Structure 1
């Protein structure tokens, strides 16, 4: 690096540390003349830094905010502090736009020297914000690699361990990272399944960059949110059942959209769909989404089966009974009981 470049960077570092610097003091700090300071200030202005100068005995220079963010110079301690802060914000979802936090963290850690990275790892392990529930442990390296691949539209491979324990190797086009219910999820296009898939990041390992770029498929924020909602619900429930409906798999998937995940063809005309919830009421709510007129059977177990039957029978009696009087109407006279 040339002396001129080194001096300009030193000047920039000084301007970032104080609100105002007299020209004579800058010259003394840098070991140059005030004329050289003025030339170096002009070089920084050419690079996009807004530096205000004021004449006179009390005059000097100060760095102002511009219309765009120019490169920053950080000391080792500042870089470590920023990396730890970004890790905490990312893991605890303290800020909006979590994918921005992860991308910023990935960019910073990508350029940290090995000794500083070790300091960040050691200190971050001891930083536990109070009052926040942590989710499953997620590797910041994995998050960073996925964030960069999503930003750069680069295909990646990784090893995924499903909730069942099945281990598979996946090849995907990463689209977005999103936190939900104390977990991180990767939304991506699965090249083997030829469909969208959502993966829990804490179950990901061995991320491999392929250096193959792709054209991202369009998705609205609402669609991304729906994918994540479905992924959050795709966990083992207290009450689970299968519904086998008289509907071909392709027709069923067209009707249910992302909520049809997990459905399998029973045969050419029937589809098996897992449904569940915290209790039989939530399971019943899921069954109610089966299209009108489509017959189905379910293997809902006891006691949920009996509880559901009793509730439905009582509901049918209420529907078949005469409606109650309108609100505010005089009550109907009771029929006298004979002696």
Structure 2
């Protein structure tokens, strides 16, 4: 039975490697008769692999497309190439691909032999990301995602926003892509409380084979039950300057355009929304809002309106539509 199973896997690998094979070619490669090839093809069909047969002098065997994606067999080089590509996609920040690529990467790296995992780590892959979005090492994403899936305690080195470095033992529960950053929802064993951790600020401590070594844990229920909502509540108001504006664009348009995760967006009619923004100061808020390319009205605070007047005057001077300023003015920052 083992010999037959191994032969079926080898046959499947050959069918995936080339568009078409004749019966004698497959028989020679596998060291069997053409009759055994036909029987093995029937066994693959019984396992829902869409093996097609062409009759006549030029006929042969080919692996077609079926209703479902069958398991793929990859050789060493192919597995390394796929893993590197998934690492790049996971950290690229491309909407709709990062989370899916990460899920596939976690599955693949979990079963990679150590020799291939080292080859993947050694590949010189670089991702150029916007300056406003700190880069995340895809290998760290894969490790953290695997620990979430396997329910294993992680020991990490973490750098807080104020630069303080700590070592923590956490129970990783869920990864969330919020804006252009990745966050981890975890239970901190030392502090006995929930934490939302920036993945770009943590470094897992791993075994020589690159896998977590912590014990398994029983998963806890995230407060509220929704990881995305939990992260949203924790990270949307962490900056000192806060403002509210009404934007003359739909909530979907603003979400697709705004490049910060420190924001709450609430629909206010079909073509308008209310945006609550947290930044370091009024100047940063004005830059983000002007980048929307849409009309907006300041609701609060007055400091943002004052900053926008300064910016408007600067733009008019740049366009030659206003007199030169006689004395420099320091714009308000709060």
* TM-score, normalisation: structure 1: 0.61
**Structure 2 Cα separation of the partners of residues 14 and 97 of structure 1:** 30
Equivalent position of 2:76 in the other structure? 76
Aligned positions of 1:54-93 closer than 5 A: 54-93=54-93
Q: Look up the SS of the partner of 2:215 in the other structure.
A: strand
CA-CA distance at 1:81 after TM superposition: 0.9
Secondary structure, aligned partner of 2:216: strand
SS for the counterpart of 1:211 is coil
Matched, 1:177 2:176: yes
The reply to whether residue 231 of structure 1 matches residue 235 of structure 2 is yes
CA shift at 1:212, angstroms? Answer: 1.5
Following the alignment from structure 1 to structure 2, what is the Cα–Cα distance between the partners of residues 13 and 282?
Answer: 56
Aligned partner of residue 19 in structure 1, secondary structure: coil
8 Å CA contact retained: 1:146, 1:174: no
Alignment of 1:183-222 (within 5 A): 183-189=181-187, 196-206=194-204, 209-214=214-219, 216-217=221-222, 219-220=225-226
Larger radius of gyration: 1
Report the TM-score when normalising by structure 2.
Answer: 0.62
Cα distance change, pair 279–63 in 1 and its aligned pair in 2 (3 A): same
| Distance in 2, Cα, partners of 1:72 & 1:162 | 42
Q: How many residues align?
A: 254
Q: Does 1:277 align with 2:284?
A: no
Cα gap change, 1:309/1:16 in structure 2, threshold over 3 Å: closer, same or farther? closer
Partner in structure 2 of residue 98 of structure 1: 98
Could you say which residue in structure 2 is the equivalent of 1:133? 130
Whether the aligned pair in 1 keeps the contact of 2:285 and 2:304 (CA below 8 Å) is no
- CA–CA separation in structure 2 for the residues paired with 1:83 and 1:198: 27
**Aligned-residue CA RMSD (Å):** 4.0
Secondary structure of the corresponding residue to residue 68 of structure 1:
coil
| Alignment of 1:163 onto 2:166 | no
**For 1:137 and 1:18, how far apart are their aligned partners in 2?**
38
Q: CA deviation at 1:109?
A: 1.9
Query: 2:318 maps to which residue?
Result: none
Counterpart residue number, 1:25: 25
- Shift in Å at residue 83 of structure 1? 0.9
* Equivalent residue runs for 1:2-41 within 5 Å: 2-41=2-41
The answer on whether the counterparts of 2:185 and 2:231 sit within 8 Å (CA) in structure 1 is: no
Q: Whole-Å Cα distance in 1 between the matches of residues 3 and 121 of structure 2?
A: 34
How much does 1:63 deviate?
1.2
Give the Cα separation in 2 of the matches to 1:64 and 1:157: 46
Cα distance between partner residues in 2 of 1:173 and 1:122:
26
Q: Is the 1:190–1:196 contact (alpha carbons within 8 Å) kept by the matching residues of 2?
A: yes
Q: Deviations over 1:100-121 (max 9, x none)?
A: 2112112212222233222222
3-state DSSP of counterpart to 1:69:
coil
Instruction: After superposition, give the CA deviation of every residue in 1:145-180 in whole Å (9 maximum; x if it has no partner).
Output: 221233345554534321221515243341223153
* Displacement of 1:201: 0.8
The unaligned stretches of length 5 or more in structure 1 are 241-258, 260-274, 290-306, 312-339
Cα distance change, pair 33–282 in 1 and its aligned pair in 2 (3 A): closer
Residues 177-215 of structure 1: CA distance to partner in whole angstroms, max 9, x if unpaired? 31533x322134556767653211122233554311326
